[in-house]
Amino acid sequence: MDWYPLFNSLRIAAVSTALIFFLGILAAYYVVRMPRLVKGVLDVVLTLPLVLPPTVVGYFLLRLLGPKRPIGLWFLETFSLRLTMVWYAAIFASAVVAFPLMYRTARGAFESFDVNLAYAARTLGRSNAWVFWRVQMPCCRQGILAGAVLSFARALGEYGATAMIAGYTPGKTATISTTVYQLWRTGDDGGAMRWVLVNLAISAVVLLAVNMLERRDRRPRRPAAER
């Protein structure tokens, strides 16, 4: 069995998760602070990829990054870099599709953060940066990690946009999901089944991780007096 699709899927998911981890937190941090109208509009725009069919996302990405489109052309001429039909093209697809999951869970975590903690720290003379790194991030850690794991899972399973922007080239752009489709289409039912099982195993592990993160969040600790 050629393990390239597994390796490729994992690296695409890892890179795009790393990317949206920071972008999602950044977006969530600022959107929470926006006035209501701006917040509503930004929220719709940033969540849209979650509800759009991945093929629509793929279409938009091709319009932007295709070799004859402005951005794609500029990259091609400046760096001799193709942004489509190469393995890393799938990173754009899975990042865009998985971004809302990271953004929304991070936003939820920030919104449930007790703002009085930030106020208290500031009246004690602590800087806003200190509040963010030493209080807010640790308090929201579980929510943010859960968001990252979910995004990773979504990025790993991305098919529609990936197929459009990276295509399927064995040993080059093949991912688990595109391989399953390709093997099934060409009548290799057994091969497809093997990759389906691999995918199932990874997804189960990921969901297990999310559940454990959430449970740790909720586990109550008894007050000292009762011990």
Which residues of the shown chain bind another protein in the complex (CB under 8 A)? 114, 116-117, 119-127, 134-135, 138-139, 221-225
CB of 131 vs another protein, minimal distance in Å: 10
Cβ proximity to another protein: between 68 and 221 the closer is 221
Cβ proximity to another protein: between 68 and 222 the closer is 222
Cβ proximity to another protein: between 75 and 113 the closer is 113
Q: What are the structure tokens assigned to 132, written together?
A: 């963010």
CB of 205 vs another protein, minimal distance in Å: 27
Question: Cβ-count burial of 200 within 10 angstroms (0-12 exposed, 13-18 middle, 19+ buried)?
Answer: exposed
* 175 close to 162: Cβ distance less than 8 angstroms: yes
- What angle, rounded to 10 degrees, do the helices at 4-33 and 36-51 form? 160
How many degrees, rounded to 5, is the angle at CA 181 between CA 3 and CA 1? 20
Cβ proximity to another protein: between 36 and 68 the closer is 36
User: Rounded to an integer, what distance in angstroms lies between the CA atom of residue 181 and that of residue 157?
Assistant: 12
CB of 82 vs another protein, minimal distance in Å: 46
CB of 102 vs another protein, minimal distance in Å: 22
User: Rounded to an integer, what distance in angstroms lies between the CA atom of residue 93 and that of residue 100?
Assistant: 13
Radius of gyration of the chain (CA): 21
Whose tokens are 């497809």? That residue is 192
Cβ proximity to another protein: between 138 and 190 the closer is 138
Cβ proximity to another protein: between 51 and 224 the closer is 224
Helix/strand/coil percent split, the chain, to 5: 80, 0, 20
CB of 171 vs another protein, minimal distance in Å: 47
User: Rounded to an integer, what distance in angstroms lies between the CA atom of residue 161 and that of residue 175?
Assistant: 12
CB of 138 vs another protein, minimal distance in Å: 4
